[in-house]
């Protein structure tokens, strides 16, 4: 099994719908992150979490919310999806004490029509 698993892999949704992207990890890391990737813009940080009780906004948090259900689970929600949220979304974990490298999931391709 992958260290960081994202579901679903692909999703098409309609404008105005609520959608949740899920992430689970087996790395045992406390820190988890959500990024989005857009052509020409690169990867940008949406939210990050240091632990279950510590959630922080990233560079582009507007229109998104997150929930850290457990150390291993971090979900991203779009409360009312809009077309410019069409992107590739990545979940990641890191271990600051173990060199600080990041491990990424395989991504969720979200299309809002």
Partner 1 sequence: KQEVTQIPAALSVPEGENLVLNCSFTDSAIYNLQWFRQDPGKGLTSLLLIQSSQREQTSGRLNASLDKSSGRSTLYIAASQPGDSATYLCAVRMYSGGGADGLTFGKGTHLIIQP
Shortest reach from residue 82's CB to partner 1, in Å = 22
Shortest reach from residue 16's CB to partner 1, in Å = 26
Q: 97 — phi, psi (to 5°)?
A: -85, -15
Query: Nearer Cβ to partner 1, position 42 or 62?
Result: 42
101 CA to centre of own chain = 17
User: Interface with partner 1 by CB under 8 A: which residues?
Assistant: 31, 33, 40-45, 48, 50, 56, 58-59, 88, 90, 92, 94, 96, 99-107, 109
Shortest reach from residue 48's CB to partner 1, in Å = 6
Mapping DSSP to helix (H, G, I), strand (E, B) and coil, where does residue 20 land? Answer: strand
Residue in the structure block whose two tokens are 């404008």: 15
The answer to whether 107 and 8 are in contact (CB under 8 A) is: no
């Amino acid at each position: 099994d992958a260290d960081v698993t994202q579901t679903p892999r692909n999703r098409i949704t309609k404008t105005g719908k609520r959608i949740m992207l899920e992430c689970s990890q087996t790395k045992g890391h406390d820190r988890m992150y959500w990024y989005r990737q857009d052509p020409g813009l690169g990867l940008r940080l949406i939210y990050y979490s240091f632990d279950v009780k510590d959630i922080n906004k990233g560079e582009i948090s507007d229109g998104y919310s997150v929930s850290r259900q457990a150390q291993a689970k971090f979900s991203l929600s779009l409360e009312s999806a809009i077309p410019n949220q069409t992107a590739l979304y990545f979940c990641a974990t890191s271990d600051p004490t173990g060199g600080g490298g990041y491990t990424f999931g395989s991504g969720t391709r979200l299309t809002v029509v």
